[in-house]
Structure 1
C-alpha cells in the first residue's frame, strides 16, 4: 500500500482546520461567558435570529454576507474568517510536520486547536479558563499514547513537571509577572514539546520569554504600554511552543549539543 503524499495530508488537515475553526469561534465567544458551546445554535447578537446553515460555511459564508448579518445588517467581525483561515493554516503545517508520524497528527491537531482558543481567550479576557486547560492534560496524554513511544511519554511527563515548576517559581517570586493560569498552561506546553525532544522544550520555554520581552518593548516604544502594563502571556507561550514544534526546536538541540562538547 503506497503512502499518502505529505502535501495531501497537509491539504486534508487544512480542510479539517476550516471546519474546526468555525467551532473554535464559538468556543472563544462562549466559554468565557460560562455558556454552552453546543446550544443554542449560533445567532446574531442584535436581532437574535439563528444563522442559517448556508451562511455557516467557513469563510465563504462571511464573504457571501459581506461581513453583515443577513437579517438585520449588523457587521460581523472579520475575526471569524481570520480564525477559520488561521486554524486551517496551522492544521496544514501540523499535517506537513507529522506526515511521517501519523499517530502524532491527532494529538498535535488537538493541541493546535487548543492553542488557538486559549490564545484568543487570553487576549480578550487575560484569563486561561480551567475549563479548557485542565482537560487538556488527560486528553492530550491519552492521544499521545497512540504513538506508543515510552521514551517520549517519559520526556513529556518530565517536561510538564519542569516547565510547570519553572513558571510556578516565576509566579511566586515575581508577583504580577504572570498568572497562575500561565503556570497551569506551562505544564501542557512542556509535555507537548518535550515529547518531541528536550531541545523543543528548551526552545518553547525560553522563546516565550523572548517573545514577551520583544512585544512588550515594542509596545512601550510605541507608547501603547508602560512598565506596569500587564500583557497576556499565554499567547507568547503558545506561539513559542508551536514555533518549536514546527522546527525551531532545532535551535534548542544545537544548544544542548554544545553543552556536551
Structure 2
C-alpha cells in the first residue's frame, strides 16, 4: 500500500501542475517543471510529492515565492483516495476511477483558481468512461470477467453522458428565460456529462442534486458570515467534482 500511496501523491502533484499550466495556456505534457519566480528547472527532489514541498516548507528554491498549502493537501488527498480505491474496488474499477480522479481533480483546481472548466479535458474524461464501459461489456466473453468487471454497460454510460449534459443545459435555458442570465457555466454541462459517462444517468442526477445543495449551503454560510453576497458566483465544478469523488467511495 505504500507504493500505492506514493503513486497517489504523484498523481496529485501532476494534477496541481497540470491545472496551473492549463490556466496559463502552457503545455502540460512535455514542458519541464520550473520555478515560477526564477524559471530555473526543478531537480528530482523538488518534484517529489510531499518531499518537494516539505524540504523548503513550501518556498521555491530561490526563496521568492511561497507555494500555498493547497499543493501538499492535494497530494495527500490523492494519495489517500487511490489507497481507498485499491482497498475497496475491483482492479479495473480502481484503475478507472483513479484515472477519472486525475481529470476531475484538475478540473476542480482550474475552476477554483480561475473559474475555468476545459471542455477538451472533460470530453476526454467522458470518452475514457465509455471505453471502460465497452471493455467491461466484452471482457466476460474473453474469460476476464473477474479482472475487468465494470458497473455500467456502454448504453448506460451513453445515457449518463446525455442526461448529465442535457439536464443542466435545460435548466440553464429555463433560467435564462426567467432571469435573462446564465445559471450554469458552459463548463458545467461538460463536467456533468463526463461524470454521467462514469456513473450512469441516475448517478449524474444524484450528483447534480447533491452538488447544488452543497453549493447552496456553502453560499448561505458565506452570506451569513459576510464573505459573499447573493450575487456572488461560486465555482460549481468544485461541488460536482467533490460529490463525484464521494460517490465513487461510498455509493459505488
When normalised by structure 2's length, the TM-score is 0.85
Cα displacement (A) at 1:78? 2.3
Q: In the alignment, what sits opposite 1:59?
A: 50
Q: In the alignment, what sits opposite 1:5?
A: none
Distance 1:140-1:191 versus aligned 2 partners, 3 A rule: closer
Q: In the alignment, what sits opposite 1:184?
A: 190
Q: In the alignment, what sits opposite 2:226?
A: 223
Distance 1:84-1:48 versus aligned 2 partners, 3 A rule: same
Q: Are the aligned partners of 2:134 and 2:153 in contact in 1 as well (CA < 8 Å)?
A: no
Describe the SS at the equivalent of 2:184.
coil
Q: In 1, Cα distance between the equivalents of 2:152 and 2:132?
A: 15
Cα displacement (A) at 1:248? 4.0
Tell me if 1:23 matches 2:29.
Answer: no
Q: In 1, Cα distance between the equivalents of 2:36 and 2:190?
A: 33
The Cα offsets for residues 53-101 of structure 1, whole Å up to 9 and x where unpaired, read as 1221111121112222223453233222122111112222222331xx2
Describe the SS at the equivalent of 2:42.
coil
Once the two structures are superposed, the pairs formed by residues 1-261 of structure 1 within 5 Å of their partners are 8=1, 11-98=2-89, 101-148=90-137, 152-174=153-175, 175-194=181-200, 198=202, 200-248=203-251
Cα displacement (A) at 1:231? 0.8
Describe the SS at the equivalent of 2:153.
helix
Q: What are structure 1's unaligned runs of at least 5 residues?
A: 1-7, 250-261
Query: In angstroms, what is the RMSD of aligned CA positions?
Result: 2.0
The Cα offsets for residues 19-63 of structure 1, whole Å up to 9 and x where unpaired, read as 111111110110122111134321112222111112211111211
The Cα offsets for residues 96-142 of structure 1, whole Å up to 9 and x where unpaired, read as 331xx212122211111111110110011111012311222222322
Cα displacement (A) at 1:147? 2.3
Moved more, 131-140 or 184-193: 131-140
Q: Are the aligned partners of 1:121 and 1:128 in contact in 2 as well (CA < 8 Å)?
A: yes
Distance 1:147-1:41 versus aligned 2 partners, 3 A rule: same
When normalised by structure 1's length, the TM-score is 0.82
Q: Are the aligned partners of 2:126 and 2:161 in contact in 1 as well (CA < 8 Å)?
A: no
Distance 1:13-1:140 versus aligned 2 partners, 3 A rule: farther
The Cα offsets for residues 199-244 of structure 1, whole Å up to 9 and x where unpaired, read as x444312211111111111111111111111111111111122222
Q: Are the aligned partners of 2:211 and 2:243 in contact in 1 as well (CA < 8 Å)?
A: yes
Moved more, 149-158 or 127-136: 149-158
Q: In 1, Cα distance between the equivalents of 2:49 and 2:225?
A: 35
Q: What are structure 2's unaligned runs of at least 5 residues?
A: 138-149, 176-180
Distance 1:72-1:239 versus aligned 2 partners, 3 A rule: closer
